Amino acid sequence: MAPTILFIVLSLVFTLSSTHIQSSEEGFIFVQISNRGLDFAKDVLIDKAVSSIVPLQLPDIEKSVKIPVVGKVHVLLSNITIYHVDVASSYIHTGETGIVLVASGATANLSMAWQYSYRTWLVPVAITDDGGASVQVEGMEVGLAAALKNQDGNLKLSVLECGCHVKDISIKLDGGASWLYQVVVNAFEGKIASAVENAISKKIREGIIKLDSLLQSIPKEIPVYRTAVLNVTFVDNPVLSNSSIEFEINGLVTAKDAVLVSNYNHKGWKDIFFGSGPAKMIQISLQQDVFNSVSLVYFDADYMHWIVDKIPDQSILNTAGWRYIVPQLYKQYPDDDLNLNISVSSPPIIKVAKDVIGAIINLDVTIDVVDGGEVIPVACISLVHLIETSVCKS
Ligand SMILES: *[C@@H]1O[C@H](CO)[C@@H](O)[C@H](O)[C@H]1NC(C)=O
Ligand SMILES: *[C@@H]1O[C@H](CO)[C@@H](O)[C@H](O)[C@H]1NC(C)=O
Ligand SMILES: *[C@@H]1O[C@H](CO)[C@@H](O)[C@H](O)[C@H]1NC(C)=O
Ligand SMILES: *[C@@H]1O[C@H](CO)[C@@H](O)[C@H](O)[C@H]1NC(C)=O
Ligand SMILES: *[C@@H]1O[C@H](CO)[C@@H](O)[C@H](O)[C@H]1NC(C)=O
């Protein structure tokens, strides 16, 4: 079981980083999201934002306008709906104060219904008409500045500033009197633009609140099989630089009953393993103590203990298979099954060096004969097993 855990932990190591190492008393896992990773996250975020924005219904706009010859006309624009948004380009910038995300050259397509009514002294009843219109919003700029902080071990994302600016809109009316187009353009263009600006800023603020509650819901402990938990509490504030965001996570594995097992001497980040390679989206560094805390928990939980009674060549696990090599054994226990009782006799020690992870494992192997239901140890071997794994960089 333990090697599986170790493998899982190891497979987390996409690559190892030696840059921007922070020293901390508590953080054992160090995560760095590079520019490439941030760019990727930005594209995903913008996609998600756009699909959560549309369709977006804006409040109705109405106004009475004086028209030469015609008189006072009441115009209502209703069911104003943004149904399509396109983002031409975007960038993300991280700095000490927070994260800035800008989408520029965005366009939006809107549909709406128009309706007007007026009275003249000529006819006693109100004259009304209605129809549809399409609106094209061009050159929209959307900017967001957000702060990312540690709040009680979770990441807290909050909006510092958020704005949307519409540069240009064009309106196409289906039908209507000849004066109507000019009225809509003159009296409503600015109102439509600011309705779009307000609605989009509001949606983005709401989106950040949702994203933040998602961050808040990240558990502080992740169960690792049945017996242990990995402490994923964030330690300190994330460090934002112009090329990356860096986090430290406690990262120690403890037994589920919350007995802290790590008494390891904390040696600082020099113990993490280093690597280099082409730009990665995310880099994760694990300190040696992380491995040792896993090892100690599994040793304490009595997990490093196996009885082997099934192997591909089953004949080896029978005294008959050893008849010519150890004839005494066969003579004493003819045709009895054998099993191997393998125990790890002390917590494996894991050493981390540049590009290499080594483990020293002390094994006690007992060979048992199963004679009519009775288990009789017949041999005992102590082994010191040294495993070295080089860390592959993908
Ligand atoms: C509002 O506009 C949408 C999209 O153009 C349309 O599907 C819907 O029927 C309209 N609703 C009303 C009440 O006119
Ligand atoms: C949005 O409007 C533009 C210009 O009118 C048009 O070219 C584009 O096809 C429209 N997009 C959608 C999804 O209707
Ligand atoms: C990031 O900051 C460093 C100095 O702090 C500067 O040399 C570098 O040009 C900056 N990079 C970008 C992309 O702004
Ligand atoms: C998890 O890590 C945090 C931060 O290092 C620490 O304060 C907390 O006590 C740890 N929790 C457990 C159960 O060890
Ligand atoms: C296996 O060996 C260990 C000591 O090496 C012993 O404590 C344990 O009882 C043995 N288990 C079985 C099933 O023989």
SS3 181: helix
SS3 68: coil
Hey, what are 108's tokens? 């939006």
State how far the Cα of 106 lies from the Cα of 93, in Å rounded to an integer.
18
Cα torsion through 107, 113, 119, 125, rounded to 10 = 170
Q: Whose CA is nearest to atom 14 of ligand 1?
A: 79
The predicted model scores a pTM of 0.68
Longest dimension (CA), the chain: 126
User: Which atom, in ligand 1's list, is nearest to the CA of 83?
Assistant: 4
Position 280 scores a pLDDT of 59
Ligand number, closest to the Cα atom of 28: 4
Query: What's the order of all strands across the beta sheet hosting 234-240?
Result: 234-240, 244-249, 29-34, 282-286
Position 59 scores a pLDDT of 94
CA of 109 to the centre of ligand 2 (A): 6
Position 83 scores a pLDDT of 95
Best residue among 341, 376, 380 to mutate for probing ligand 5, ranked by most atoms within 8 Å of CB: 341
Q: Would the CB of 109 count as within 6 Å of ligand 2?
A: yes
State how far the Cα of 344 lies from the Cα of 207, in Å rounded to an integer.
51
Position 389 scores a pLDDT of 66
Q: Which residue has the tokens 């994760």?
A: 284
Q: Which of 359, 341, 220 is nearest to 295 (CA)?
A: 359
Q: How far is CA 189 from the centre of its chain?
A: 41
State how far the Cα of 348 lies from the Cα of 359, in Å rounded to an integer.
6
CATH fold of the domain at 59-202: Bactericidal permeability-increasing protein; domain 1 (3.15.10)
Tell me the domain boundaries of the chain. Answer: 1-34+219-302, 59-202, 304-394
- What average pLDDT values come out for the chain (394 residues) when binned by 10 residues? 32 30 56 84 87 91 87 92 94 88 94 90 84 93 93 92 93 84 88 93 91 88 77 89 86 66 40 44 72 79 80 80 79 87 82 72 84 84 72 45
Best residue among 58, 81, 82, 130 to mutate for probing ligand 1, ranked by most atoms within 8 Å of CB: 81
With a Cβ cut-off of 6 Å, ligand 4 is lined by 26, 153, 231, 233, 235, 250, 254, 258, 260
Position 4 scores a pLDDT of 33
Q: Whose CA is nearest to atom 3 of ligand 5?
A: 343
Angle at 278 between CA 237 and CA 268, to 5 degrees: 40
SS3 55: coil
Position 269 scores a pLDDT of 40
Contact 127, 118 (CB under 8 A): yes
Q: Which residue has the tokens 């004969």?
A: 369
CA of 341 to the centre of ligand 5 (A): 6
Q: Which of 267, 391, 301, 289 is nearest to 350 (CA)?
A: 289
